Structure 1
């Protein structure tokens, strides 16, 4: 009965949001052969109005594209939820084919079947298909309670939602909190481009006064269209590339082009600078996608399960005990970051409560907590730290579908469907690093340093780089002589040196020998680690432009989290404290920007926090794993720079 009530509430909320969205706009699905010009004639609107509501049109009209069309002054379009139709999924049916069959969008189907946000459509599934009734009424006959507003000339107190805008960003623009904006618009459940919101009258906030965590969604004061003078020898292809729109769209904007391009001709094209974001520096490196798409301001409750082992103390962890118990130190450092993350969330208007459970590094203690606690009231469980305990927790509470976030384990744990492995595994780090090396090495001279005692690692790299020059150690001494390192170098091309070894002697020898030739040869060295425990000279690594994979990247000292941490604890946070902050704040923001963590993982994609990235992918019939990582490189000034993985790997 409870589930039926929830479904009914969702139906009403869904219908209400759609009615609010459609009251001033139509939706149009682009058909074959249509152009911007034919749409302007069909709906009696200007191309500027279409571009304003549909910025993607700058890259041309696409078949099947869904557009927002301003309603004419004499017509009001409403879309009401009439009923639901039961549908059993057949073989080869997809969300796309069902959306076309029933003339609705894929999002309509997902909203009616929330489980499809996190699970794929399967043959035999029974789903609900929303059936909408579209009604066109004349403005005079419909007698609306409020006049139909002209979106290009809104009165004070009204605001037109633009693409990619969220409740938090709009609220901040108008000097209020997101919760207050929701109170002004009680019928709005899901924010969509084209909606007209109620906002405080006479209040706007300049982008420079916004909090530094926010990346502003306000636009530059740039005209939508600009005049362009055709230079000598320009053809239609070049003009299309410059303007970013199709030939049909150019002709619609400039009928004189039907006679061809002529030097000195003045044409109207979309302004390439229109719509560019005004970026306010984000000192916590939080992406705007979460911060500016907050819509779920319900109070969150999180269970934090960490191995404090308080039973060993009298309530105060003394220095000797902390020295002896590394796990306790890690738990306390991690927890110190959690607390600041919760404080930061509350400052953003997201109410968060949390309860702490001491697992005592014990599987039995963890089981006792699970047996004695009702986790159904929690939105998520953060921890435990060890793989055995976190797997046991996920297994026991998967029946109530509460997500469990494993913050530190990177071993191959059993991924129950509710388990989120927040730390990228070593296999993911290595595979993405190898993909990067293969792409980077194209056209360069590749040298692979190997070790006879680890043929598996050697084969991993020789198999993906078959044309590479392989340095094989002397079979008796398992040693590479200095002359053999040097003679493989080439002076007229970049040398890519790959350390396919984990032996300290080989690593230090290779770095020593190749750094001695760094002035006469261009060398870029790749290693599977930064070898921090070997205490290698950073100057030599910088000479070799040393590149390595990492799950995190150290932040600058002027970072706002580090400042806050230092002011609270009088020390700089270590990597575990930063990890605690990043994992916790990412969890909270994801839940605040979606209905739950599962939906956010599927919709929000990659996030970048203080030192850690999160990009969750789901394994089939299993849980979620983080595949976000850094590829870092030493610079001449001994600083560390992040290399863009996509820029290199997408070149091919």
Structure 2
């Protein structure tokens, strides 16, 4: 019995000793917009220390994530409790103030007083304050004044591990996730200095043969280790990461000034992925504000051959069902037929101008497998350009298969969020382009006016986007429980003596219809201009109300009102006026034909000719680094008193503002 008691006492003694060693760390909840770099700067720690305490960081930083942060910077300590102080809590004292007073963490206090994990600190509580004895272990931190040395791989696809490097740091350096790096090195355990890893090959960079910036800020560098790049107007960190191909933290490591944000005209540097390789120079893109007249610059009258890939779904037509029955049932088929009706007129128009064009049609049947079958069975080497397919997955598959031929593939109606292949032209502007066009105009227009932003509790991201660019605005925040804005809240912020600018930072049908209804009712006594992200046709809002509100919105096309040669030609053939799909088929096809007739190919024309304006659509293709071409041209439209819709020009607005 005595021996049992001795053993139990020894176990308790060891347990007590173990319990007196507390780690020196604090907790941090990740806020919106924080990065690993900003956390290392805030808490004076290294990214390696963060990763050691938070292994989940290897898969990225998440909003709301709770992290453990080392409490000190230049020293790591093994914290053994030497003794406890007694402390009686006074009025207004908090865990934060006590931790600051005794130079420990709130977590240290909670560990010494377990009841504080579930109960709040109260006046009169008697608690224990741990006193630590510390053994210092110096941590060598990188010299922030020195520019890091460039890592040149032993050979393409290989990388030698440096002292202190981990999987996360190497994965970040090559712009991939830790999981992807592990897949490339399945038999690698713990990393050691000098170990050679498999990393992504840079042949994609070599194939691009170019380093192209945005808005004319192209940097041609043949054999230099670093690229110097000038930040253009309106560029954000997301665009800069896509351009350079490296992470935000790496960009800030190379350019510490970036932690204060991107500014127009700022010069930065980043590693040249083409270092040591032959780089093919390409023509610089012209000023995108200038509208190109392709008809006046025709110089290439060689015969063109186009491939038209559309979901006609001909396999559905049989003896039992008529074409009309199929058209009623299949929306994609209707769109394909309308689109192709415009394509045919564009080709006829080109032939009339002396540009010989042949075309072949391929039925993709809305099927990825059918698309693959077409690609396997057809030699596309002799085609100048492929228009289609309509569905984004089929478009990406087509571009992937035809990139070896360097054949341009134009996606006419859909956009994809995957990185485009270098031969893929996305003719439909991305939603972000539309939104940025509205923001750019709104920033200038709202100056000196009473701005009211309508928000939705369920879409904080959209709210933050507009409150950031309009910091002085009145923000209508819905009731927290019901997520609803009462009618009185809409109108009580209005001012009768100045123009009121209403911004719909919402995508909820209820908020949009309520805002339009409430504000349009006040237009007799107040001057109001409303801004939104779409024409909201599906909501069937009254055009009269939108006209009263001088409603402004971005759109990829402007509906043609006046009769033109295309409408007349279309009507003479089909006895109806063309819808938006037929017009888009005409605009995209004729734009491609004219571009190819005014340059050696579509690639050169995209860089040389810049923006074009067709019947209802604009095209201004920008080449993105290590990706394809994106159409950045959109319309900003406004309802007029007579219910017509007018295009707005931000350049004219800036002139008026300055005057």
TM-score if structure 2 supplies the norm length?
A: 0.56
Give the number of aligned pairs.
387
Determine the C-alpha separation between the residues in 1 that align with 2:279 and 2:645. Answer: 51
Determine the C-alpha separation between the residues in 1 that align with 2:389 and 2:514. Answer: 41
Quote how far apart the aligned CAs of 1:91 are: 5.6
Question: Is the Cα–Cα contact under 8 Å of residues 291 and 610 in structure 2 kept in the other structure?
Answer: no
Quote how far apart the aligned CAs of 1:494 are: 1.1
Task: Write the mapping of 1:342-353 to structure 2, written as runs, cut at 5 A.
Answer: 342-353=347-358
Quote how far apart the aligned CAs of 1:360 are: 0.8
1:646 aligns with 2:651: yes
- Structure 1 residues 616 and 373: alpha-carbon distance in aligned structure 2, compared to 1, 3 A threshold: same
Question: Is the Cα–Cα contact under 8 Å of residues 520 and 548 in structure 2 kept in the other structure?
Answer: yes
- Structure 1 residues 649 and 378: alpha-carbon distance in aligned structure 2, compared to 1, 3 A threshold: farther
Task: Write the mapping of 1:626-641 to structure 2, written as runs, cut at 5 A.
Answer: 626-641=631-646
* Per-residue deviation, residues 72-128 of structure 1 (Å, max 9, x unmatched): xxxxxxxxxxxxxxx96556799xxxxxxxxxxxxxxxxxxxxxxxxx996545479
* Per-residue deviation, residues 359-408 of structure 1 (Å, max 9, x unmatched): 11111111111111111101011101101101000000101101000001
Determine the C-alpha separation between the residues in 2 that align with 1:557 and 1:314. Answer: 40
Query: What's 1:76 paired with?
Result: none
Task: Write the mapping of 1:145-156 to structure 2, written as runs, cut at 5 A.
Answer: none
Question: Is the Cα–Cα contact under 8 Å of residues 557 and 563 in structure 1 kept in the other structure?
Answer: no
Which structure: larger Rg?
2
3-state DSSP of counterpart to 1:303: strand
1:290 aligns with 2:290: no
* 1:426 corresponds to which of 431, 449, 452: 431
For structure 2, which runs of at least 5 residues remain unmatched after alignment? 1-220, 229-271
3-state DSSP of counterpart to 1:292: helix
Determine the C-alpha separation between the residues in 1 that align with 2:585 and 2:431. Answer: 20
3-state DSSP of counterpart to 1:443: coil
* 1:523 corresponds to which of 506, 523, 528: 528
Question: Is the Cα–Cα contact under 8 Å of residues 298 and 594 in structure 2 kept in the other structure?
Answer: yes
Query: What's 1:304 paired with?
Result: 308
Quote how far apart the aligned CAs of 1:352 are: 0.3
Question: Is the Cα–Cα contact under 8 Å of residues 381 and 407 in structure 2 kept in the other structure?
Answer: yes
* Per-residue deviation, residues 508-534 of structure 1 (Å, max 9, x unmatched): 221111111112211100011111111
Question: Is the Cα–Cα contact under 8 Å of residues 606 and 616 in structure 1 kept in the other structure?
Answer: yes
Quote how far apart the aligned CAs of 1:411 are: 2.9
Task: Write the mapping of 1:193-592 to structure 2, written as runs, cut at 5 A.
Answer: 289-314=293-318, 318-592=323-597
Question: Is the Cα–Cα contact under 8 Å of residues 437 and 636 in structure 2 kept in the other structure?
Answer: no
Determine the C-alpha separation between the residues in 1 that align with 2:580 and 2:474. Answer: 38
Quote how far apart the aligned CAs of 1:501 are: 1.4
Task: Write the mapping of 1:73-222 to structure 2, written as runs, cut at 5 A.
Answer: 89-90=223-224, 123-124=275-276, 126=278
3-state DSSP of counterpart to 1:554: coil
Determine the C-alpha separation between the residues in 1 that align with 2:478 and 2:406. Answer: 53
Question: Is the Cα–Cα contact under 8 Å of residues 391 and 414 in structure 1 kept in the other structure?
Answer: no
RMSD: 2.5
- Structure 1 residues 637 and 479: alpha-carbon distance in aligned structure 2, compared to 1, 3 A threshold: same
3-state DSSP of counterpart to 1:344: helix
* 1:599 corresponds to which of 604, 615, 621: 604
Determine the C-alpha separation between the residues in 1 that align with 2:557 and 2:426. Answer: 15
Query: What's 2:627 paired with?
Result: 622
3-state DSSP of counterpart to 1:374: coil
For structure 1, which runs of at least 5 residues remain unmatched after alignment? 1-86, 95-119, 130-163, 165-285
Determine the C-alpha separation between the residues in 2 that align with 1:551 and 1:598. Answer: 22
Query: What's 2:11 paired with?
Result: none
Determine the C-alpha separation between the residues in 2 that align with 1:409 and 1:93. Answer: 34
Question: Is the Cα–Cα contact under 8 Å of residues 387 and 413 in structure 1 kept in the other structure?
Answer: no
